[in-house]
Structure formats: C-alpha cells, structure tokens
Structure 1
Amino acid sequence: MTMNVLVVRVFADEGGRYGNELGVVLDTQGLDGELGPKLTARLGFSETVFVDRIDDEGAHVRIFNPTAEMKLAGHPLVGTSRVLAEAAGTQPAVLRPRLAEPVDTWREGDVTWIRANSAYAPDFDFVQHTSPACVDELPVPPLEEQAHHQHWSWIDEPAGIVRARTFAGRIGIPEDEATGAAAILQAQRLGREVTIHQGRGSLLHVRPAKAPGWSEVGGRVVTEPSRVIEL
C-alpha cells in the first residue's frame, strides 16, 4: 500500500538545526498496527505515529518504533502535536496514545510542550559521567551491548544544563538523536527543570509537573518535505 508520511524534526536547536526525525500518518483508523514498525524501519526513523482519528476527546494516536508499538515516547508526541496544529490550524489540547494515559499539549512561543505520566515511559539505565567530554568521546557500541542507556553529564549544574547521548540497541537504534522519554525520566530523577543537549546538537527542555510522577518536555519542531512510501 501507499502511505503519505508527514515528516518533522523534533527538538531542533535555536537555529532550526538537528532534532530527531519523525514520520506522522493521518487518518489511519482501521489500518493494521503491524504496518507501524514496518514503516518506521523503512524510513530509518526511531519512531513514527499513526493518527487514528480526532474527536471531542482529542487526537487518538499510536506510536511505533522499528520493532513494536510503544506506550509513550516524547519526540513523537511533541512532533505530532505540532503537525496537527499546522494541519488543522489549531493546537490540539490532548493527545491520546492507545497504550497510555492522555497527554496534555500546548505551545509556548516556538516551543511545543507535552505533559506525560513518566510511569509509561520505557525503562532506561542512566550512566552519569564526570564531564561532557567523556560523553562526547563514547563510541557507539554494538546493538547487543547497550540495551537502553542514556549517558549524561552536567555542563552547568547550577544552571541545569545537561549533555546526553542515548543508545537504544534493544529496539534496533544504535544512537537516538533526541530522546524525549529519557528526558521525562530525567526530570523525575533530578527533581528540577533542565535543558538537555543531546546527540549532534538537539535541544530538549524538561521539568517536573505539579502532579507527582508527571513531567513536561518541550522543544522546537521543524517541518521537512513529506514522503510517499510503498509498503
């Protein structure tokens, strides 16, 4: 079948560079969920989103990595929020992942935000290093050696600025450019607002929400040319 995929980069820097690519497919209600991982793998992205429908309760979505459907992921939800805002002309108030609790979403200036329950985020092992240089120097390991790890260091602890890299071999991703779910968990681990510089130059903003266990993560979203994919 032919699929029209809207493409954005999520968690871009102030100049609109870098960020993690995301594919979004609209009007997917009734499509076989097995198409999601196949499409993600074909695109070479870490995640794609199927938007099943939009109704009075919000946008009902499914999130896929190259191997399975996911409960919660940060950059897919931030990116989908912006895609729907541009497609419909208004920012959706709620995104409803099929396997997780509803996610509030909004925009502050040029940053799109979501508020999510960290209990639905994938598990990560967090490895703290003594300096950003140590993080930068890490080689990308073989997939089987880094199941789901984020390596990080403070760039400026008083200012809440973090350097991070994420390896996700368990789901077939050697290195993820910008990992919103890990940022959601970092906000809970550190108990404070932080700015994360991840990958080649991506920028993530994250902070604990008022409700215990909930976090807010936001970033800039840049539109890329859409793609037509045959599956």
Structure 2
Amino acid sequence: MTETEVRRLRVFTDETGAAGSLLVVVLDAGKRFPEPDERERIAHGLGLPATVFVDDAEQAELAVYTPGGELPTAGDALVGAAWKLGRILGGHPAVLRPTGGDAASWQDQGRVWVRVPLATVPPWRHRQLADAAAVDALTLPRPVGEDLEQVWAWLDEPAGIVRARAFGSRHGVAEDEACGSATMLLAVTLGRRLTVHHGAGSIVLAAPGPEGFADVGGLVVEDERLVIDDVEGFLAH
C-alpha cells in the first residue's frame, strides 16, 4: 500500500520559530482519503484547530476540516498549506482553491499571506478588554455564550499591536492558539493593519483587503513529518 505523507506544521510562529497554531497537511488526500467521513474521523482524532486535505497539489485544490467538521476556509490552514505547497512544488502557489472559493497567496519578507473572502469566514465575535492583563487572566472552560469569540486589548494602539485569545468550542477546540479568521475580522472591524500577539506566544498579521476580502499572514515552520498507510494507523499514531 502506498504511504501517505502527513506534515504537521506550526503556523503564525514568533520570530524565533516558537509557538504557532498546530496544523496537519495531508498530501495526496484525493486518492487516499476521498470520503468526507474519513476526513472527519482524522480531523476529530487529531483534535487540532485545522487539518488540510490536499486533493490536487498542482492545482492547490484542498479541503479544510476542524474536529467539528468541514469549513469552507480557515486563515491558519491556508497560510500553512500555501507554505507547504510552495516547498513541494518548487514555487509559491499564487492561488489556493479550498471548497469556499479561491484565495490569492503571496510571500512578503519571509511571511506567507493569503487573501480570503469574508463571506467564507466563521462568524467570530470580538470583545475588547481594558488591557492585556485582563486578556491573559481569562480561564477555561469559558461560560456558555462565549463560544466563537476573540477577546482582545491594545498593546500599542498607534502601532496597531494587539493582544488576543480566541475561544471556539463549537469547532472542537476550546482555545485556538493562533486564529487567522478571527484576526482578519478584527482587522476589518478596526479598519487597519494589525500585529496580533495571540495565544501563548504566536504572532498573526492581518489587514483589510479589497471590498469583501481580508488578508492574513505570518511565519510557518515544519513541526513533524508522519507517514501513514491507513486511517487507523493515522489515528493510532
């Protein structure tokens, strides 16, 4: 049986390559794991904020799953997928094709960026707190009604630097270490480019894009390479 490469990445790391949101990229998924139920089992078993199934690497066709099911798109998933595809194809993909619609991608000063239609982004709510200490003091589990919420405070308002955390239990993850989609929506809400210190140490960059779009970017590193030959082997790893 042909083996399948599974790459675990960390997306939106800091300048040293530390922290970042864990993401698995499953290559050759169109042949190995074409069925939605298989993908749902894998994503649920991993328990990560997102798992990307690459159906066609050359065309950058892919699907994004959380432990709770498929999403049309996700910021960290697309940034990580663009980074990985750029390395296996020998050149950065100009367009990614998730099920939610095409997303432009580019690199700038070592950061990978994607431009995402806002209509495909989950409906994150935002709650501003008085300062970063108040954001840091939040604990899990969150009260009922505070699901799919990004909580934030200014670190340096003139410079556009923010402290934030995101809680999205409906997607199967109690706290998202570095949430691209919520940060894109925050940049659009505030109408400016942001540098967001997210979670335990991640850095997410975001900016409003053209009408109906937003941009998100950051650093990516490879965390681990796995090789599997079936779903059961994957989940048993």
TM-score range, shorter chain: over 0.9
Match of 1:49 among 52, 55, 61: 52
- Using the TM superposition, give the Cα deviation of residue 142 of structure 1 relative to its aligned residue in structure 2, in angstroms: 4.6
Aligned-residue offset at 1:39: 1.3
- The amino acid across from 1:124 in the alignment is W
> Are 1:36 and 1:65, in contact at CA under 8 Å, matched by a contact in 2?
no
Alignment partner, residue 114 of structure 1: 114
Q: List per-residue Cα deviations over 1:72-94 (Å, max 9, x = no partner).
A: 10000000000011111110110
Deviation per CA, 1:49-77, whole angstroms, max 9, x where unpaired? 0110144xx31110000021101100000
CA contact (8 A) 1:129 1:153 kept: yes
Structure 2 residues without counterparts, runs of 5 or longer: none
Structure 1 gaps of 5+ residues are none
2:36 maps to 1:37: no
Query: Aligned pair 1:20/2:21, yes or no?
Result: yes
Q: How has the CA–CA distance of structure 1 residues 37 and 183 changed in structure 2, closer, same or farther, with 3 Å as cutoff?
A: same
Which residue of structure 1 aligns with residue 96 of structure 2? 95
Q: Deviations over 1:171-230 (max 9, x none)?
A: 121111000010111121011001000000000111111x21211110000012212352
* TM score, norm. by length of structure 1: 0.93
- Counterpart CA distance in 2 for 1:142 and 1:198 is 17
Work out the CA distance in 2 between the residues paired with 1:43 and 1:144.
Answer: 25
Instruction: Give the secondary structure class of the aligned counterpart of 2:29.
Output: coil
Q: Which whole-Å CA distance do the structure 2 matches of 1:201 and 1:34 have between them?
A: 34
TM-score (norm 2): 0.91
Does residue 221 (structure 1) correspond to residue 220 (structure 2)? The answer is: yes
Q: d(CA) in 2 for partners of 1:23 and 1:132? A: 30
Matched with 2:65 is 64
In 2, the alpha carbon distance for the partners of 1:161 and 1:113 equals 18
Identical residues among aligned pairs (%): 40
How far apart are the structure 2 equivalents of 1:143 and 1:75?
Answer: 25
Structure 2 counterpart of 1:81, one-letter code? A
Q: CA deviation at 1:146?
A: 3.0
Q: How much has 1:3 moved relative to structure 2?
A: 4.7
Per-residue deviation, residues 114-165 of structure 1 (Å, max 9, x unmatched): 0111111001111110100000001122585532111000111111000000
Q: Is contact 1:143-1:168 (8 Å) kept?
A: no
Confirm or deny: 8 A CA contact 2:4 2:28 kept in the other structure.
no
Alignment of 1:165-180 (within 5 A): 165-180=165-180
The CA RMSD over aligned residues, in Å, is 1.6
Secondary structure of 1:141's match?
coil
Q: For 2:74 and 2:135, how far apart are their aligned partners in 1?
A: 23
Equivalents in 2 of 1:151, 1:216: separation in Å? Answer: 20
Judge which range, 76-85 or 165-174, deviates more.
Answer: 165-174
* Partner of residue 182, structure 1: 182
Give the number of aligned pairs.
227
| Structure 1 partner of 2:133 | 133
